[in-house]
Amino acid sequence: MLRFESPWMFALLALLPLLLWWQRRRGGRPFLRFSSTEAAARATHTPRIAMLHLPTVLRYLALLLFIGALARPQMGFERVRDFSRGIAIEMVVDRSSSMGAEMRYLGLRSNRLEVVKKVFTDFVDGAGDLPGRPNDLVGMITFARFPDTVCPMTLSHATLRTLIESVKLVQDRDEDGTAIGDAVALAAARLRTAEETLKRKSGGTADYEIKSKIIIVLTDGENNAGERSVADAAELAQQWGVKVYVIGVGDDRALTTAFGVVNVPKRPGVDDAALRELAEQTGGIYRLATDSQSLIDVYKEIDELEKSEIEAVRYLDYRELFSPFALAGLCLIGLEALLRATFLRTIP
């Protein structure tokens, strides 16, 4: 699509007929006197004689091109920009020793942490019944006695996938524990500054907007470590506009850990109540997952509740054509001068 940014410059076209009229009126063309025109009358018309007006034509064509260049011709090219409104997600995963308990995954037995890692990867990348979260900003925090940021929030899910694989069960007894409150508070703080983080990483040019912020907590225990209670963390998340989805993982059974076989007692009801209150207070949900399929079902439910949006914005990107017009005009002026000095030269 061709357009002219300064079309009013075409008003200069009105000067061209005036210029032509002025040149003809001025006359004054030099001449030579001959005693007789008989020889001229017998002369035949050659192609050279027929082209005598060509330099004048080239000059006016050049003036037309110069006026066109002054009108700023621009060629438009359609561009499509994808603008995403995604979800900022912090995954908060328990890696305490109790997550070493066995859990069914595709008919096989594995430990809870490995199942959680696998299903979480499918939740992000998409597999089976899970569509994936390609347009979401995802980060990961793990915790035992202390929370730890494994992966800052990122749109590069390949990096996240690599870091997920590095997550292991706690090996040091002094670091074992379940600091749910501290982990949720850390995740909420990360989400609070998610816009600033995204702007800094993209240089302020990201075609991305954070639609909502959520935390997904996966744990099989009760809050028994750390400085903050689950209630304190819920209050912070609610204050900062962060939803918390809580997934209780596994059932009660004896398990094999780095410290030998440990009998995990049944969690007291007050723990379930605290986790449920954490979710409901912030606008999320609390669910219990006893195997990989029930864990997938919870993720599917979250997928239905938290949807990203992609908008394709179409626009025209214009490229200036001043130079081609001006260059063509200069070429015609040069050709005119060359013809007047050589092939179409007149005497006098």
Q: Tokens in use for 56?
A: 């004048």
Cβ atoms of 87 and 245 within 8 Å: the answer is no
Q: Helix crossing, 292-305 with 112-125: angle to 10°?
A: 30
Q: Is the backbone peptide bond immediately before 55 cis, with ω within 30 degrees of 0?
A: no
Name the nearest CA neighbour of 215 among 91, 128, 61.
91
* Pick from 219, 12, 180: nearest CA to 98: 219
Residue 45 has a pLDDT of 67
| Angstrom distance (rounded) from CA 139 to CA 147 | 13
Q: What is the pLDDT, as a whole number, of residue 32?
A: 61
pLDDT tens per residue, range 33-49: 666 666 666 666 677 76
Strand ranges (E), 45-72: none
> Tokens 């998340």 sit at which residue?
237
Mean pLDDT in order along the chain per 10 residues (348 residues): 84 87 69 64 67 83 91 75 72 87 74 85 81 81 90 82 86 85 92 76 60 86 83 91 85 51 45 83 85 80 72 63 90 89 72
H helix intervals, 180-321: 180-192, 194-202, 230-239, 269-282, 292-305
pLDDT in tens, 47-57: 776 677 788 88
Q: Do 161 and 121 form a contact (C-beta atoms < 8 A)?
A: yes
Instruction: Say how far apart CA 226 and CA 146 lie, in whole Å.
Output: 7
Collect all residues with Cβ–Cβ distance below 8 Å to 22 and sequence separation of at least 6: none
Find out whether 247 and 297 touch, Cβ atoms under 8 Å. no
In terms of pTM, does the model score above 0.85?
A: no
Domains of the chain: 2-76+317-341 (no CATH), 81-312 (3.40.50.410)
Q: What are the φ/ψ torsions at residue 196 (nearest 5 degrees)?
A: -65, -40
Tokens of 331: 């070429």
pLDDT on residue 52: 73
